Amino acid sequence: MNNIKKLIVIVGSGFGGLNAALHLRKYNLDYSILVIDSKSQFEFKPLLYEVFSDEIKSWEVNPSFDSIYANSGITFIRNHVNFIDFDKNYLILEDNLKVEFEYLVLATGSSPNDFSIKGVKEYCSFFNTNKDQIKLKKLLDKTISVGKSNKIFIIGAGPSGVELACKVHDLYKSKFEVIIVEKTSEILNNSKTFNKEEAEKSIEKKNINLMKNYSVIEITDEEILLTNNLNKVEKFPYFDVVWTAGIKPNLPEFNQQIQKINNKILINKNLQLNDYPNVFVLGDISQIASKHTYPVTAQVAMQQGEHVALNLKLLINNEKLLPFTFNDNGEMISLGIGEASVSGIGLTFSGKLAYDLRRIIYASKMPKIDKFLKSTASWILEKKSIFKSIL
Ligand SMILES: Cc1cc2nc3c(=O)[nH]c(=O)nc-3n(C[C@H](O)[C@H](O)[C@H](O)COP(=O)(O)OP(=O)(O)OC[C@H]3O[C@@H](n4cnc5c(N)ncnc54)[C@H](O)[C@@H]3O)c2cc1C
């Protein structure tokens, strides 16, 4: 086995890991930083819908890690982490390379959860990565004749399901009928009231069929089987089913059982793994003990990334670590082509203004925003001055 010795290792370079790395660099600690990710590009998932609808080009929101980390003093390697030993402080990559660490930051994000429902893996489309959106777009674009059914079922009326349903409707309304299936009686269960109301209005205006109180029990190659509150099973032929109904943490194997809640790793208020103060865990895969659950969002992951960098610096300098607190900066939902709803910082907007604001705010969150945006999306920066007061 080859052996590399690096002191701070960050596994996963999404919203949490990338932010941790970039903030750590600012502290100029006397440690090497190694970032490992299975992918070669950053994925700005909140704008995946706009890439799908061609309102934004994929290269605008998927910068390569090589370009992000170039000249930063941070080493990036593309590889998948298969195994971590927290007791002996090493991890194993998929090509069997062993990497030792003194400090570890784990931020591997999440992927769709099929809840073991029959047929989901085999027959559903997903919308979690750029690859998924390319695959779905190809399928919908290339179809000339829809065959037995023109129905596209989108499962789950959380933000992903609602945002995707609005885009698919706006893009393909002459070809497909969009149906959202939601197992509870409400859409956007964890969202702000204003965004919920705007989304409901939008769904109604677009005539998107919303099947509340329906659960998926099985998907076959031709039909989707749903059950309602009365346990009556109904079958529908479909053109496609897109699964946006839940996520599960991406976790490598560990040398021992660690404490989890809902499959998420239990951590303390300083974002450290219990009993392993040199290991920090953040973003979609983490749950702070005795805290109510934070939303599973990029906003939380980014703030935790920054906080992990700070606590790591304090730890290295033998200073007292600080507990993480989430600063809710509001919530933004895309509601079709050129439309969105924004709620937060004491303000609410919907329609075209919210759409522009959403893009501007997300643009300002892009890694290396200064260099990247100037060359790619200068129109956003031009508009940014309009919103200076609220950004
Ligand atoms: C379609 C969609 C839309 C969304 N919209 C919003 C939104 O509008 N607002 C919002 O706040 N949030 C949104 N989210 C949620 C947000 O994207 C996530 O909460 C956020 O990305 C979590 O950050 P993270 O750092 O935990 O994980 P991620 O950003 O997912 O990063 C995890 C990284 O780890 C890498 N990785 C995984 N396993 C391994 C391994 N074993 N070895 C090496 N690398 C590994 C992955 O390649 C990835 O780069 C959306 C998500 C989706 C799917």
Q: What is the pLDDT of residue 190?
A: 84
The finding on whether 223 has its CB within 6 A of some atom of ligand 1 is no
Cβ contacts of 243 within 8 Å, gap of 6 or more: 112, 114, 120, 124, 125, 126, 155, 156
Cα–Cα distance, 25 to 243 (Å, whole number):
38
The four Cα atoms 353, 357, 359, 362 give a dihedral, to 10 degrees, of -160
Residue 81 CB less than 6 A away from ligand 1: yes
Residue 294 near ligand 1, beta carbon < 6 Å:
no
How far apart CA 8 and CA 24 sit, in angstroms, is 10
pLDDT range class, residue 366, cuts 50, 70, 90 = low
Distance 113 CA to ligand 1 centre (A): 14
Report the separation in Å between the CA atom of 282 and the middle of ligand 1, taken as the mean of its atom positions: 11
**Protein residue whose Cα sits closest to atom 52 of ligand 1:** 45
Atom of ligand 1 nearest to the CA of 285: 26
Q: Is 240 in the pocket of ligand 1 (CB under 6 A)?
A: no
Q: Which atom of ligand 1 is nearest to the CA of 333?
A: 8
Question: Model confidence over 236-263: pLDDT tens digits?
Answer: 999 999 999 999 999 999 998 999 998 9
Q: Which structural domains are found in the chain, ordered by start?
A: 3-38+79-111+248-316 (3.50.50.60), 114-246 (3.50.50.60), 331-387 (no CATH)
Question: pLDDT, tens digit, for every residue of 176-210?
Answer: 999 999 999 999 988 888 889 999 999 999 999 99
Closest Cα to atom 27, ligand 1: which residue? 109
Among the listed residues 294, 254, 293, 253, the one whose alpha carbon sits nearest the alpha carbon of residue 275: 254
Residue nearest to ligand 1 atom 23, measured at CA:
15
Q: How far apart are CA 57 and CA 55, in angstroms?
A: 7
Is the Cα torsion angle 80, 83, 84, 90 positive or negative in sign?
negative
Distance 315 CA to ligand 1 centre (A): 26
Top pLDDT among 262 and 166 is at: 166
- Tell me the Ramachandran region of residue 48: left when phi exceeds 0, alpha when psi lies from -120 to 50, beta otherwise: alpha
The answer to whether residues 283 and 271 touch, using CB atoms and an 8 Å cutoff, is no
- Asked if residue 30 lies in contact with residue 79, where contact means CB atoms within 8 angstroms, the answer is no
Q: Give residue for tokens 């990710």.
A: 37
351 Cβ closer than 6 Å to some ligand 1 atom: no
What are the φ/ψ torsions at residue 306 (nearest 5 degrees)?
Answer: -65, -40
DSSP 8-state code for residue 64: B
Q: What residue's CA is closest to ligand 1, atom 30?
A: 109
Cβ-contact 285, 114 below 8 angstroms: no
Strand partners, 193: none
The whole-number average pLDDT for the span 360-382 is 49
Relative to beta strand 33-37, strand 75-78 is parallel
Nearest CA owner, ligand 1 atom 44:
37
39 lines ligand 1 (CB under 6 A): yes
As a whole number of angstroms, the distance between CA 152 and CA 140 comes to: 10
> Is pLDDT above 50 for 49?
yes
